[in-house]
Amino acid sequence: MDVSQLKQQAAERAVGFIQSGMIVGLGVGSTALLAVRCIAQLLQAGQLKEILGVPCSVQTAEEAERLGIPLTTLEEHPGVDLTIDGADEIDPEFNLIKGGGGALLREKIVAQASKREIIIIDESKLSPVLGTVWAVPVEVIPFGWGSQTRFLESLGAKVTVRKDKNGALYKTDQGNFILDCGFGPIPKPAELAMKLSNRAGIVEHGLFLDIATDIIVAGKDGIRHLRREMR
- Report the amino acid identity of residue 175: G
- The answer to whether residue 107 is catalytic is yes
Buried b (16+ CB within 10 A) or exposed e, 180-192: bbebeebeebeeb
Three-state SS letters, the chain: CCHHHHHHHHHHHHHCCCCCCCEEEECCCHHHHHHHHHHHHHHHHCCCCCCEEEECCHHHHHHHHHHCCCECCCCCCCCECEEEECCCEECCCCCEECCCCCCHHHHHHHHHCECCEEEEEEHHHECCCCCCCCCEEEEECCCCHHHHHHHHHHCCCEEEECECCCCCECCCCCCCEEEEEECCCCCCHHHHHHHHHCCCCEEEECEECCCCCEEEEEECCEEEEEECCCC
Q: How many CB atoms lie within 10 A of CB 159?
A: 18
Rounded Cα distance between 65 and 55, Å, is 10
Catalytic one among 107, 117, 139, 204?
107
Which residues are the active-site residues?
107
